[in-house]
């Protein structure tokens, strides 16, 4: 479970950072970001990317709190 949460944390932070780079460079960096592809987020991409980074940090902190069974 701890490894899964760490991976999810990495994905959220990477997608948020990639989305911010995409928005701030005018769309040049678009290979693997997902936020700009979601239609209902038009106009709110930067907010969604910052939220994604914040959620990634929170999930990463939660993964540290998970104890291994045994």
| Distance in angstroms (rounded) separating the CA atoms of residues 70 and 62 | 19
Q: In 10 A of CB 68, how many CB atoms?
A: 6
What are the CA-CA distances from residue 43 to residues 28, 38, 49 (Å)?
Answer: 17, 11, 12
Q: For 7-30, what is each residue's pLDDT tens digit?
A: 999 999 999 999 999 888 887 877
Q: What is the pTM of this model?
A: 0.85
| Distance in angstroms (rounded) separating the CA atoms of residues 62 and 5 | 8
Q: Mean pLDDT throughout 28-57?
A: 87
């Amino acid at each position: 479970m701890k490894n899964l949460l760490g991976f999810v944390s990495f994905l959220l932070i990477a997608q948020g950072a990639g989305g911010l780079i995409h928005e701030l460079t005018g769309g040049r960096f678009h290979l693997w970001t997902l936020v700009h592809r979601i239609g209902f987020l038009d106009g709110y991409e930067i907010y969604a990317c910052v939220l994604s980074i914040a959620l990634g940090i929170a999930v990463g902190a939660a993964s540290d709190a998970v104890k291994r069974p045994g």
